[in-house]
Amino acid sequence: MITPTPLMQLVSGFWSFKTLAVAVEFDLFTRLAGGRTVTVREMGPEFGLAERPADLLLSACASLGLLDKAGDGYRNSALAEEFLVKGRPYYFGGQVRYCDERTYLPWHRVRDALRTDRPITWDPDTQESLFDGSDPGMLALFWDAMYSTSIFTARALSEAYDFSGHRKLLDVGGGAGAFPIELCRRLPELRATIFDLPHVCLLADKKIAEAGLSGNIGTSAGNFLTDPELPTGHDVILLSMILHDWDEPTNRTLLAKCHEALPSGGAIVVAELLLNDERTGPPAAALMGMNMLVETDGGKNYSGAEYSAWLTDVGFTDVRVLSFDAPGANGAVVARKR
C-alpha cells in the first residue's frame, strides 16, 4: 500500500540537518573524541543544558547514527569519530557550519530564486561572483566548507583514477588546496600548482604549509574566467567541483583553455556530482543543481554525457566516465589531448 511516509521524510528533512548542525556547534563530537562517553545527567552541566533538552539531543543524534549508546552512556559512532572530530584529516564540520550559517536561511526563499533566476546568497548587482573578496568572513567559511568536502572527495578520486602516471598537476580553481594536498600525500613524486584568485592562493599557501607540502605544491594567482590562458607545463589538469558553478558557454570556453594549456598526451580530469544522462538523478546531483540556483548566477549540475560532448568538441579524445562515492563528487570525466 502506498503511504505518505516518504513525503513526511522529505518534509522533516531539515530536522535531521539542524540536529547535526547544533551538535557540531556545541562541539559534541569533538568533546566525545577517543571513546569518551557521556550520560544525559553528565551532559547537562557540561553543555549548559537542562536534562530534557540534553536527553532529546543525545537521543536524536543516536537515531541519526551519529552516536552509539551503551548502558546510560553515549559515545561517538564510527562515522562521527572519523568525520566530525576537529583535527581529524577528513573533518567535515566546515561544510556543516557553512550550510547552517550561510545557505540554510536563503534556501527558505528558493521560490524567489526560481522566479528571478538570480542567486539569493549574494548580490550580482554589487559583487562579481560568490567568490570575490567583499566579505572576508563569508569567504573564510566558504573555503573551510569546500576543504571539508574536498579532502575526502580527493581520496575517493585518487582511488578511481591513477594519477601515478603524471608528473605535474594543475588544479584550476583549486581553492584551499584539498585535492593537491591529498594527492601529493599519496604520491610523493607528484608536483602540483593551484591556479586561483590571489586571495584564495593565500589561503591555499597556508594549508599547504600546514600539511608540510610546500616543496610539492605551489600556487599561481589568476582568474580562469578572464585570463586568456592557463599556466602551462603540466601534464594533467584537474577541474574539481568547478564546472557546476557556471553555464555551458563559460564551461566550454574553460575546457578549450585547458586543451590549449596541455601538451600532447596530457589528460584532463573533471570531478563532479554527475547527473545521469536522463537528468532524473541521483538526488545528490539534482539537488546540488537546485543549490546552484540559490548560490550562483548560471550554474547547474550536468551529466557525464554533457561533459563528454563538450570535451570532444574542444578536441579531447579517449573520453570516459568513472564512478565513485564521495560527498563532493560521484564521478569523474577523464580525457586525453592527442
Q: What is the dihedral of CA 250, 111, 15, 32, to 10 degrees?
A: 30
Q: What is the dihedral of CA 258, 263, 266, 272, to 10 degrees?
A: -10
263, amino acid identity: P
- Residue 36 has phi, psi (to 5 degrees) of -65, 145
pLDDT, tens digit, 9 for 90 and up, residues 186-240: 999 999 999 999 989 999 999 999 999 999 999 999 999 999 999 999 999 999 9
Confidence of residue 130 (pLDDT cuts 50, 70, 90): confident
pLDDT, tens digit, 9 for 90 and up, residues 34-68: 999 999 999 999 999 999 999 999 999 999 999 99
Model-level pTM greater than 0.85?
Answer: yes
Q: What's the pLDDT at 132?
A: 66
* Collapsed DSSP state (helix, strand, coil) of residue 195: strand
CA 151 – CA 179 distance, rounded (Å): 6
CA 129 – CA 311 distance, rounded (Å): 25
| Domain range 5-83, CATH architecture | Orthogonal Bundle (1.10)
Q: What's the pLDDT at 133?
A: 58
Point out the residues that are catalytic: 244
Q: Is 166 exposed, middle or buried (0-12, 13-18, 19+ CB in 10 A)?
A: buried
CA 65 – CA 34 distance, rounded (Å): 17
CATH superfamily of this structure's domain 160-337: Vaccinia Virus protein VP39 (3.40.50.150)
186, amino acid identity: R
Q: What's the pLDDT at 246?
A: 97
pLDDT, tens digit, 9 for 90 and up, residues 147-189: 999 999 999 999 999 999 999 999 999 999 999 999 999 999 9
CA 236 – CA 158 distance, rounded (Å): 13
Q: What is the dihedral of CA 47, 50, 55, 61, to 10 degrees?
A: -40
Q: What's the pLDDT at 141?
A: 83
**Per-residue pLDDT for 134 more than 70?**
no
Residues 6+ apart with CB under 8 A from 18: 100, 104
Task: Report the share of the chain in percent with pLDDT over 70.
Answer: 99
Q: What's the pLDDT at 204?
A: 96
Rounded mean pLDDT of the chain?
A: 96
CA 313 – CA 317 distance, rounded (Å): 9
Domain ranges of the chain: 5-83, 160-337
Three cell numbers written together for 156: 575517493
* Segment 276-305 mean pLDDT: 97
Q: What's the pLDDT at 243?
A: 98
Confidence of residue 143 (pLDDT cuts 50, 70, 90): confident
- Residue 275 has phi, psi (to 5 degrees) of -75, 155
